[in-house]
Every structure is written in structure tokens, then in C-alpha cells.
Chains A and B, each alone.
Chain A
Amino acid sequence: MNCESCTDRLIDLLDGAVDPTEAEAMRGHLAECEVCSGASERMRAGRELASLVRLEDPPSTVHAHVMAAARERAAGRASMRPDARESSPRTLAEETRADSLERGGASGLWPTLMRWLGGFAMGPQVAMSMLLLLMVGIGLWYLPDLRRQDPSDLHAIVDPAAGDEIGEAGGLAPAEPLALNVDPRTGRVHTREELADVEPRPTHRAEARAGGGREAPRDEPPVAVPSHHEEDDPLLGEMEAVDAAPESLLEQRGVAAPTATTGPTAEAPPTAQVPPPFADTTDESMVRRPEPDLRALLPPALHQLARNRAREAGCGDAIPSYEQLLARHPSYPGASEARLELADCYRRTGQLGRARPLLEAAAQDPRFASRAQRELMRLGVADMTSQRGAAAAPAEATPE
């Protein structure tokens, strides 16, 4: 028998609720185990003290009230005394007050009402019920008014008058997409009607190149090119490439293809494959974002990983991460800093010999030269200390 099983059964042993075989085994264990025998002794002493706990007598009024309720119940009476109702049990003090009031002879409608209000006014359940009834009552009061209202009045609340808003006044009809297009680069908003009505024309710059004598471009935005001054457009170079909107796209939008009325439009940059930037921004294939250079992101990520390991798990776990980083990316911009951190890890783990070449390499980097030199000096001191200690130990071991 072990201590755990013996301890679990001690209480039963003291109560005499253990079979003789098991009791014998337990006594044998208690004779040999000081810990368990001590626990048994304490429990036995605690039981002796517990036997001195006295029973207390309840007040006689409780007995009287309960028996009165029991007799009523037994007699099969439908109504019970107020103090026997479970929903609002009254304290003995409240009973005494109520009894004295009743005995005092206060009668009449008003005192009775006041007593009733006084009994329930502060009841949270009653207050909540009253509030709920009030809300239901208000709702029912206004319901006929709501039913009598002209449905057009309701629409007037939610719908604007015809002509005041863009789009149809459909009330609760599903909203149509706004007939707007926003140029993300300039922030100008153009309606589809504006885009559809204006003939596409090249910018005046393209006209100048073409040598055409066209008049200056009107302020109306063309199909694919927004009209704005050159000085306002930082991306004018790109806009030139957009001058010639591909006819296929215009046809898709139901717009008549522009007719070449000017001169050599063939001189326009052959960028027909580049679509207008803002006309249809929902087609993701037309909006190309530069792909992130994943290869450039990898070394900093490995470096951060090594730092996290050093912080959370300690230098021992971080050393392989640093070594992997420096092996794969020895020329990465943060390699010198990584060498310093790895050297610090080696120093902390007592591998001074491995720390030194890393520090010497980091010292080649002007950004970290001073720090690397300091670490090298520190390493030198640590070396001397360890050598002195190694020299002292054999001296002490030498017998006198």
C-alpha cells in the first residue's frame, strides 16, 4: 500500500468503514510511514474536536409559523397564509409590523391601498412588469394610427421626391448601383452619362505631336481620358498611354467608336492594349499591382524569427536560426547585426571561440564596428577570467 491510497482511505478507517484485510494493510503502512501516521493523528484529533460542535436551537417563532403552514396545507386549504407564500416570503420583522398594523385597527380603503403600495412599490419584479405593460400599452395605442396612415406617406418618409435624387425613387426597391465612376487618381466623379455623351478625343499633347490644328481640348472629359490641366496630373506620362482607348472596350460599353478626325493618329503611342484606368476598375486584370519581391523579404523574416526564438526560448534555440540565416544570406543588409546577435548568444552559452570570428566579421561593417570592438574587448576579458580560473583549479587540487 502506498501513501496515496492510504491517505484516500484514512477517513474511512477512522469511521470503521474499511474491511479487515484492507484495515490491516493500512495499519501496517501507518506503522512505517511517518507522513501518513501524522495525517491520521491529525484527523483523529480533528474528529475529537468536531464532536464538540453543538447544535443550535432555532427561534420558536419559526417552528410556529411553519407548523401553521403545514396544518393549512394538510387540511387542504386552497389559500395559504401570506407568510407562507413562496413568491414573496416575508421576514419575521415585516410580519411583526404587518401584524401590529392589523391589530392597530387601521382600516379603510386608503390605508389598505397605502399598505399595498408600500409592500410592492419597491419590488423590482413589479416595477419591471409595470414598465413592460406601459410599453405594450403605448405600442397598442399607436397601432391604429399606424394602420390608418396613407402608404404614400410612408414612402415619403423614406423616399425623396422624384427628381431630387439620382436614380429611381423606388422606396424599398433594391437599390441600383450608382451610375458614377470615380477616378481613383484624381478623385473626380463622373457619371456614366457624361462618359457616354462625350466623344473620345486625344489630349492636346497628343495633338501637338500629331501636328494637328485642332482646337484646344474642351473641358468635357473624353470616354477614357479625364480632362484636366497638365500641371494637375502627376501621372501624365501614363495618361498619354491611355489616350487611345481600344475600340473593343468602347464597343463593349455600347459607345460609338471614335472616328479619327485628326491627323496621324497612327503616331499615337501604340498602347491600345492599355485600358482606361478608371473606366472600369472592377476588372482586376486591368489593374496590375507590382508583385512583392518575396526573395527580398525572406532574410528579414528569418532574422526576426531568430530574434523571437532568442527572446522566448533562449540563446540555445536561437543559435541554429541565426546560423541558417547567415549561411543562406551572408550578404543581406542586416547580416552584420545578425552576426553581433549570434556572437552574443555564443558568449552567453559559453562558446567564446565561436563568437570571436563573428565579431571580427561584424567589425568590418562601419555601422557596427564600434559595437563589435566593444564586444571583442569584453570577450577578451572573459577569456582571461576563464583562463585564470582554469589555472587556479589545478593549483588547489595539488595536495599540500
Chain B
Amino acid sequence: MSANDDGVSDEELLRRFTEGDADAFEVLLERYERSLYTYILRSVRRRELADELLQEVLLRVVQRASDFKGGSKVSTWLYTIARNLCIDHSRKMVFRRHASLDASGRSGLEEESTSLLDRIAGEATRTDRRAIANDLSVRIILAVEELPEEQREVFLLRQLQNLPFRDIADVVGVPENTVKSRMRYALERLQRALEEYRDYVADLEREA
């Protein structure tokens, strides 16, 4: 059973929905739509496509709710559908991978990414933590999107939804130890990509 704040599990909400309770589905939707959307967005890296895919995922959940037999968790089931759709689309479409931060069209960060290098270089002496934090967020997003696909999906499932490693293993179809290794590599890559921001992160934490 999935953990939740209201005391009602995801499985119970889905069951109520199949019996005619649309409000139960809305509660379930509000629990997962942001994290699902972020997972899809960081996977496909195009906002328009992410919008379509999210809708497709959720409509499939609506149509197949009665087919869910409880063999796995609802969260695992949702992310499996989302992952499969992302894979199907990645096979159809060619993702333009931009190695430099000056690339455009990356999840709506065109202007931000273009000016990011200039801002970082020009503001080396500034002490505006808020501006640095915004830059850091952008850098983190770019760093996550630069992760290898198998590491990125594990990282997102763990970080966005806090899925247990064994559930992530069910979603991606690899052993649990492999999932942990990929997560380890993803964290190390992030750290290397954002090494210069470590001090700023520490300062942000102190201020928070």
C-alpha cells in the first residue's frame, strides 16, 4: 500500500474511482501530476511534448483503472506507463542533444541558458545569493538533463517521487543493485557538474 498524508492509500483511491467516485481520482491526480509531469519533462526535454505525454499517461490511467489488479503499487504502475510512453516517443523522434549551455529549446530555458554563461562569468564577485540560487536551479536542471538516460530515470524516480529502490527496479526492469549503482553514478555526476556551487549551496542552507 502506498504511503500518503490523508490516510487513504493510492490503491484505495483507485478502487473507489472504478466504483464511480471521480473525486477519488482527483485526489490521486493531485498527488502525482506534478511529479509525473516533471519526470516526463526532464526525460523528453520539450515542454509541448511533455504536456501531450502527461495527458496521454493520465487518460490511459483513466481507461485502464479497472484493469489494475493490485499486483504492484499504483506509483509503480503510473511511472511504468509514463516511462513506456517516453520510450515510445524517443524511438519515433530524434532528440537534439546540445552539449553546450548555449543550446536553445531545452524545456523553455532558451533565454536562461543563453545568458547563463555570461551571468556566471560576470557575477563572480556579486554576493546576491538569490540570483546565484536561480542560476543554480537552472544549472541543476541542465545537469540532470545531461545525465545518461538510464541514470537520469533512476535519479528522477528517486528524487521526485522518493520511490524505494525496489520499486524503481520494477519500473525500469533491472535488479535493485543496478538501480543503486545508477543512482550513485548520477549523484557523483551531478556533484562534478556543479562542483563550483558547493559553497553557495552551503550558504543557502545556512540562510534557510
Give A residues with C-beta under 8 Å from B.
Answer: 7-8, 10-12, 39, 42-43, 45-59, 62-63, 65-67, 69-71, 73-76, 83-84, 86, 89, 91-92
Query: Who on chain A is nearest to B141 by CB?
Result: A53
Structural contact, B22 and A71, CB atoms closer than 8 A: yes
Apart from A43-B188, A43-B191, what 4 extra A-B contacts exist at CB < 8 Å?
A: A10-B184, A55-B37, A58-B33, A92-B52
List the B side residues contacting A66 at CB < 8 Å.
29, 55, 58-59, 62
Whether A56 contacts B188 by the Cβ 8 Å rule is no
A55 touches B35 (CB 8 A): yes
Q: Which residues of A contact B191 (CB under 8 A)?
A: 42-43, 45-46, 49
Docked complex: B183-208 residues within 8 A CB-CB of A = 183-184, 186-192, 194-195, 197-198, 201, 205
Interface string of B18-62 (1 = CB under 8 A from A): 001110011001000111011001000000001110111011101
The answer to whether B51 and A52 touch across the interface, beta carbons within 8 angstroms, is: no
Q: Is the CB of B17 within 8 A of A58?
A: no
13 of the cross-chain contacts (CB-CB < 8 Å) are A39-B188, A43-B187, A49-B143, A54-B137, A58-B33, A58-B51, A66-B55, A67-B29, A70-B62, A71-B22, A74-B20, A75-B22, A83-B59
A-side contacts of B141, CB under 8 Å = 53
CA distance A50 to B144 in the complex (A): 9
CB-based contact B26/A70 at 8 Å: yes
Choice from B34, B52, B159, B190 contacting A57 with Cβ under 8 Å: B34
Interface of A (DSSP majority class): helix
Taking A53-B160, A67-B26, A75-B20 as contacts, is the C-beta distance between A91 and B52 under 8 angstroms?
Answer: yes
Contacts of B137 in A (CB 8 A): 52, 54
Q: A73 CA to B144 CA in the complex, in Å? A: 37
Expressed in whole angstroms, the minimum distance between the Cβ of B162 and any Cβ of chain A is 10
Check B63 against A49 for contact (C-beta < 8 Å). Answer: no
Find out whether the CB atom of A45 lies under 8 angstroms from the CB atom of B198.
Answer: yes
Q: Which chain B positions have C-beta within 8 A of A11? A: 165, 180, 183-184, 187
Which residue of A has the minimal Cβ distance to B188? A42
Of chain A, the residue at the smallest CB distance from B159 is A50
Residues of B within 8 A of A (CB): 17, 20-22, 25-26, 29, 33-35, 37-38, 41, 50-52, 54-56, 58-60, 62-63, 65, 136-137, 140-141, 143-144, 155, 159-160, 165, 177, 180-181, 183-184, 186-192, 194-195, 197-198, 201, 205
Known contacts A42-B187, A46-B187, A48-B201: A57-B37 contact under CB 8 Å = yes
| A63 CB contacts on chain B under 8 angstroms | 29, 33
Flag if B187 contacts A47 (CB, 8 Å): yes
Cα-based distance from A43 to B51 in the complex (angstroms): 32
Question: CB distance A73 to B33 under 8 Å?
Answer: no
**Total A-B residue contacts, Cβ distance less than 8 Å:** 132
Residues of B within 8 A of A76 (CB): 20
Option from B52, B59, B143, B189 in Cβ contact (under 8 Å) with A84: B59
Give every chain B residue within 8 A of A70 (Cβ-Cβ).
Answer: 17, 22, 25-26, 29, 62
Q: A70-B62, A74-B22 are in contact. Are A52 and B201 (CB under 8 A)?
A: yes
Closest chain-A Cβ to B170's Cβ sits at a distance in Å of 18
Choose from A43, A47, A58, A89 the contact partner of B56 (Cβ within 8 Å). A89
Q: A46-B191, A53-B144, A74-B20 are in contact. Are A58 and B54 (CB under 8 A)?
A: yes
Q: Of residues A51, A55, A69, A86, which shows the largest number of chain B Cβ atoms within 10 Å of its Cβ?
A: A55
Q: Return the chain A residue nearest B24 by Cβ.
A: A74
**Residues of chain B with a CB closer than 8 A to A58's CB:** 33-34, 37, 50-51, 54
The complex places the Cα of A65 from the Cα of B159 at a distance, in Å, of: 28
Which chain A residue shows the least CB distance to B201?
Answer: A48
A43 contacts B55, C-beta separation under 8 Å: no
Contact of B51 among A42, A59, A75 (CB under 8 A): A59
On chain B, the residues within 8 Å of A86 by CB distance are 59-60, 63
CA distance A92 to B184 in the complex (A): 38
Q: How far does the alpha carbon of A51 sit from the alpha carbon of B197 in the complex, in Å?
A: 14
Nearest-CB distance from B52 to chain A (Å)? 5
- Check A55/B187 contact, CB under 8 A, given A50-B159, A70-B62: no
Question: Which residues of the other chain, B, contact A50 by a CB distance below 8 angstroms?
Answer: 140, 155, 159, 187, 190
Most chain A CB within 10 A, of B51, B55, B140, B205, is at B55
Complex alpha-carbon distance, A89 and B62, angstroms: 14
The reply to whether A49 and B21 contact each other, CB–CB distance below 8 Å, is: no
Chain B residues with CB under 8 A of A45:
191, 195, 198, 201
Q: In the bound complex, how far is the Cα of B189 from the Cα of A65, in angstroms?
A: 38
Among B59, B60, B140, B198, contact of A53 (Cβ-Cβ < 8 Å): B140
Contact of A12 among B22, B29, B180, B192 (CB under 8 A): B180
- Picked from B54, B181, B187, B192, the residue with its CB within 8 Å of the CB of A62 is B54
